């Protein structure tokens, strides 16, 4: 027998009920990817759990993780996937596989293609970045006051051995100023997995110019092979169609530059479905890659 979950707004209207909830949503994508040599099918589907509730005194709390990451979220020591949080007048404190304060303040450039084509539009943050460099359970504290958002990220050190004292933990501080027309963000990150002396300073912002939205960043690194990174993305919307372009350069000093360019188009079919196509030319890839497919959200 099949069961169906209703959209929150419908249920609230139907029942007037608001309390502890387990929200279940999903997404997927299917299509073809040209990997530089031939064409491959590429598809996936995911379910997401969002738990939330409120204490008697009005403290909000919750957790979010994907079904395919359930084991990582349930880990007894390190929460290696998903996040859990409490939120109130003091701000919001999240633990788990949180992003850095830099990513919380600035986010990423706009990507292209239905698969992301390698996600080179992700801005490089030296810690807390998408769990790729998981470094012990992290914590992220965020506080907003008007247009200002303030973020502090911290890991507990890379060592969970209870018999020793941890080496230095990585941390990050970020601040963002957001208005309807534009936003700017500045962040400092210290420490990357395996290198406690690594540092990053990053400045970025976005602005809307008519139908175009532009986002850009400039990052300076210390004590790392990479010395500088900067990039820009433009989204241009025309009714249901959005054109996206991005460019990024990673400067490795004497070792040279690594450049990436991406171009994409998305057409919104409504109901959660979009047709997307993209092409990416990157010095990180041997060949230019491209894809065409449909993305879905449920």
Question: Of 241, 256, 287, 288, which one interacts with a second copy (CB under 8 A)?
Answer: 287
> Which lies closer to a second copy via its Cβ, residue 83 or residue 183?
83
8 binds a second copy (CB under 8 A): yes
Binding to a second copy (CB under 8 A): which residues in 73-112? 73-79, 82-86, 93, 95-96
Q: Which stretch binds a second copy (CB under 8 A): 120-128, 142-150, 153-161, 204-212?
A: 153-161
> Which lies closer to a second copy via its Cβ, residue 241 or residue 297?
297
- The site that binds a second copy (CB under 8 A) totals a number of residues, namely 99
Q: Rounded to an integer, what distance in angstroms lies between the CA atom of residue 64 and that of residue 83?
A: 5
197 binds a second copy (CB under 8 A): no
283 binds a second copy (CB under 8 A): no
Please list the residues that pair with 32 across neighbouring strands: 41, 292
> Which lies closer to a second copy via its Cβ, residue 19 or residue 181?
19
What is the residue whose two structure tokens read 């992003």?
Answer: 99
Q: Please choose, from the candidates 225, 212, 197, the residue with its C-alpha nearest in 3D space to the C-alpha of residue 124.
A: 225
Please list the residues that pair with 222 across neighbouring strands: 199
H or E element at residue 73: helix 70-73
Binding to a second copy (CB under 8 A): which residues in 208-247? none
> Which lies closer to a second copy via its Cβ, residue 137 or residue 172?
137
132 binds a second copy (CB under 8 A): no
> Which lies closer to a second copy via its Cβ, residue 78 or residue 224?
78
Indicate if the alpha-carbon torsion angle 291, 104, 97, 160 is positive or negative. positive
Task: Measure the CA angle with vertex 23, ends 15 and 71; round to 5°.
Answer: 155
Q: How far is the CB of 135 from a second copy (least distance, A)?
A: 11
Q: How far is the CB of 128 from a second copy (least distance, A)?
A: 13
Binding to a second copy (CB under 8 A): which residues in 18-57? 19-26, 28-30, 35-47, 49-57
Q: Rounded to an integer, what distance in angstroms lies between the CA atom of residue 241 and that of residue 248?
A: 24
Buried (b) or exposed (e) across 64-79, using 16+ Cβ within 10 A?
bbbeebeebbeeeebb
Which residues 6+ apart lie within 8 Å of 28 measured at CB? 43, 44, 45, 46, 295, 296, 298
Q: How far is the CB of 251 from a second copy (least distance, A)?
A: 26
278 and 293 in contact (C-beta within 8 Å)? no
130 binds a second copy (CB under 8 A): no
Q: Rounded to an integer, what distance in angstroms lies between the CA atom of residue 106 and that of residue 113?
A: 22
> Which lies closer to a second copy via its Cβ, residue 73 or residue 185?
73
């Amino acid at each position: 027998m099949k069961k169906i979950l209703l959209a929150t707004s419908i249920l609230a209207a139907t029942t007037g009920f608001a309390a502890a909830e387990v929200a279940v949503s999903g997404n997927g994508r299917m299509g073809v990817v040209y990997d530089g040599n031939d064409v491959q099918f590429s598809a996936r589907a995911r379910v997401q759990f969002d738990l939330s509730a409120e204490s008697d005194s009005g403290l909000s709390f919750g957790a979010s993780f994907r079904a395919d990451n359930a084991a990582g979220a349930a880990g007894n020591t390190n929460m290696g996937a998903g996040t859990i949080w409490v939120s109130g007048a003091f701000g919001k404190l999240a633990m788990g596989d949180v992003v850095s304060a830099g990513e919380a303040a600035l986010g990423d450039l706009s990507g292209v293609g239905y698969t992301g084509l390698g996600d080179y539009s992700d801005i490089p943050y030296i810690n807390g970045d998408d769990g790729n460099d998981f470094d012990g359970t992290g914590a992220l504290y965020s506080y907003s006051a008007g247009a200002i958002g303030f973020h502090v990220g911290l890991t507990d050190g890379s060592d969970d051995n209870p018999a020793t004292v941890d080496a230095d933990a990585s941390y990050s501080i970020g601040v963002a100023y957001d208005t309807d027309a534009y936003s700017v963000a500045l962040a400092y990150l210290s420490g990357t997995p395996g290198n406690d002396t690594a540092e990053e300073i990053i400045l970025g912002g976005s602005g809307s110019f008519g139908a175009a939205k532009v986002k850009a960043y400039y990052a300076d690194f210390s004590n790392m092979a990479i010395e500088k990174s900067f990039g820009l993305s433009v989204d241009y919307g025309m009714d249901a169609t959005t054109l996206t372009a991005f460019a990024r350069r990673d400067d490795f000093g004497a070792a040279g530059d690594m450049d990436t360019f991406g171009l994409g188009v998305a057409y919104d079919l409504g109901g959660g479905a979009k047709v997307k196509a993209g092409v990416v030319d990157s010095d990180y890839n041997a060949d230019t890659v491209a894809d065409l497919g449909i993305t879905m959200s449920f």
